[in-house]
Chains A and B, each alone.
Chain A
Amino acid sequence: QQKVQQSPESLIVPEGGMASLNCTSSDRNVDYFWWYRQHSGKSPKMLMSIFSNGEKEEGRFTVHLNKASLHTSLHIRDSQPSDSALYLCAASIGGLGYKLTFGTGTSLLVDP
């Protein structure tokens, strides 16, 4: 059973700062990565997905993927207090993309 490791466990950044979150899978068969965001007391919501090597940007959020190292990272620029949440990384294998394995998450606090 594959493992998804996230780091750091928790992170505090000042408002307006850059937050960088990391995620690595232990399974060489992994093809797809997702980032979900879960605000306190709420359910997870998909934030970004990445399926190919390289970079993807959506507004203040950028995700990178290096398939050779099975590593993805999420970067949040100009962080806002509303970005304070648990960020969950998930990975899946092509052909079984519906079966996600989640990491334990990075808890982000944006300090106003």
Chain B
Amino acid sequence: EAAVTQSPRNKVTVTGGNVTLSCRQTNSHNYMYWYRQDTGHGLRLIHYSYGAGNLQIGDVPDGYKATRTTQEDFFLLLELASPSQTSLYFCASSDQGDQDTQYFGPGTRLLVL
């Protein structure tokens, strides 16, 4: 099964703080994704990428930046964190096909005070 790791697993920051969430996949998948999961909203796509240097905007991108530095590594940046960004963040990866399964990392729980 595809391996996706995330760090940190838990993070607490203050309003206005800078946060970087990291994701690594070791399966040579082309696509990587960042989602947030909130009660009542399900999983919502923030940003995604189909290769190193590529970035695509998802459905809820406001307040987030992302960068894909290599095939393996995808980062989510919150430059001025707000309490509304308190959430559970998942990274996922998939191969290049239209019908390929997405494999999720273990998640990062972020609390913005």
Contacts and interface: CB of A to CB of B under 8 A. Distances in A.
A32 B98 CA distance: 9
Contact of B48 (A32, A46, A98, A103): A98
Interface string A31-48: 010100000001111100
Interface string B21-43: 00000000001000000001111
Contacts, number: 55
A110 interface: no
Contacts of A49: 99, 101
B29 to A, nearest CB: 10
B99 A97 contact: yes
9 closest Cβ contacts across the A-B interface?
A97-B98, A43-B104, A104-B42, A102-B43, A46-B101, A102-B42, A98-B31, A44-B104, A97-B99
Interface of A: 1, 4, 32, 34, 42-46, 49, 51, 88, 90, 92, 94-105
30 contacts: A1-B59, A32-B98, A32-B99, A34-B101, A42-B106, A43-B104, A43-B105, A43-B106, A43-B107, A44-B43, A44-B90, A45-B104, A46-B101, A46-B102, A46-B103, A49-B99, A49-B101, A90-B43, A92-B98, A95-B98, A96-B98, A97-B97, A97-B100, A98-B31, A98-B50, A98-B94, A98-B100, A99-B45, A99-B48, A105-B42
Interface in B61-111: 90, 94, 97-107
In which size bucket is the chain B interface? 20 to 34
B73 to A, nearest CB: 18
Given A44-B43, A100-B43, A104-B41, 5 more contacts: A43-B107, A45-B104, A97-B99, A98-B102, A101-B59
Contact of B102 (A1, A94, A100, A104): A100
Contacts of A102: 42-44
